Amino acid sequence: MARKRIPVILDTDIGGDIDDTWALGFMLRCPELDVRLVVSGTEDTRYKAKIVAKFHEAVGRADIPVGIGVPTQYDPVHKTQAAWVEDYRLEDYSGTVHEDGVAALIDTIMRSRETITLICIGPVPNIREALKREPRIAPKCRFVGMHGSIHMGHDGRPGAVAEYNVVRDVAGAKAVFTAPWKSMVITPLDSCGYVVLYGPKYQQVRASKDPMAATIIQNYRIWRNSGGIFETRSSILYDTVAIYLAYTDALLKMETLPIVITDDGHTKVDPKHGKRMRVATGWRDLQAFDDLLVARLTGGK
């Protein structure tokens, strides 16, 4: 008997670091997930929604609605995939575009008879606004996020840092990390900060003719401007781990920890004041995850 798919909403700050694009592709290839909505978040959210919409079209998933999230102050330098969507109009998306992505997120959650898994792979101004408008969304959702740094920083370096998705919107992170979600799971840098495809695994994605892999690599070329490390490896694919955690944690080392967000954007273990959540603090088998990611992006199982 086929296992029932998990209904999910993705909140993404795609269009800055390229890992969101890899994560979007991975999500769309996970048969375990039923994607109900993708909402763009942080900075120029219309630009980011264009990337999502064009990506959906390119891989044949225009059935998935796209929501435009709350815009925030932005730097044009961060629009690293602008060349890919410079001639694309949201009005031409063959699916549904919600001008108020937060309202669409709230409506999707409140109308669902099933628990929605909310996957957040960027700063969370959209979720802060959604909680402000309709606090009742939290008890109806399971939250999965790529946020924080407990004991390790980027590239497996020892020592916690103020991780971008938290420090970019500390107020939003505090609101999210204290909300009464049904459950809360995060992948901090301790587990996602060194996920990189090297050698043959990367080359398999790069050489693939599958529309998903080809669309990701097309964007990756623009992001890297065909220079630097492009020929031999991927960038760090932080956000792909949150997608995986939306349906299983089998390959990860998990701990239940009491976490607080500090005023300077750190994620601290605090037994007295922290909210208890499941935290991916390492890997049982990172190579198996890499193999899974490559297989799904290139059309395998």
Read off the CATH number of the domain in which 87 is found: 3.90.245.10
> Would 18 be classed as within a structural domain?
yes
pLDDT the model gives residue 301: 66
> Would 256 be classed as within a structural domain?
yes
Tokens of 172: 């939003």
> Would 1 be classed as within a structural domain?
no
> Would 271 be classed as within a structural domain?
yes
* Average pLDDT across the chain, whole number: 95
Terminal CA-CA length for the chain: 18
Domain that holds residue 246: 6-297
**Per-residue pLDDT tens for 252-268?**
999 999 999 999 999 99
Identify the CA nearest to 241 among candidates 252, 255, 233.
252
Say how far apart CA 34 and CA 24 lie, in whole Å.
Answer: 13
> Per the confidence metrics, is the pTM higher than 0.85?
yes
**Per-residue pLDDT tens for 57-87?**
999 999 999 999 999 987 777 899 999 999 9
Position 224 confidence tier, pLDDT thresholds 50, 70, 90: confident
Position 3 confidence tier, pLDDT thresholds 50, 70, 90: confident
Cα 167 to Cα 149, 163, 170, 185, 289: the distances in Å are: 11, 6, 5, 18, 28
> Would 231 be classed as within a structural domain?
yes
State the total domains in the chain.
1
**Per-residue pLDDT tens for 131-163?**
999 999 999 999 999 999 999 999 899 999 999
Q: Please list the alpha-helical segments (H only) found in the chain.
A: 19-28, 45-58, 82-85, 101-111, 125-133, 164-167, 170-177, 189-192, 199-207, 211-224, 240-245, 286-297
Mean pLDDT of 197-203: 96
3-state secondary structure of 102: helix
pLDDT the model gives residue 146: 98
pLDDT the model gives residue 58: 98
> Would 181 be classed as within a structural domain?
yes
> Would 172 be classed as within a structural domain?
yes
> Would 161 be classed as within a structural domain?
yes
pLDDT at 1 over 70: no
Mean pLDDT of 217-244: 87
pLDDT the model gives residue 229: 60
pLDDT the model gives residue 231: 75
Mean pLDDT of 21-48: 98
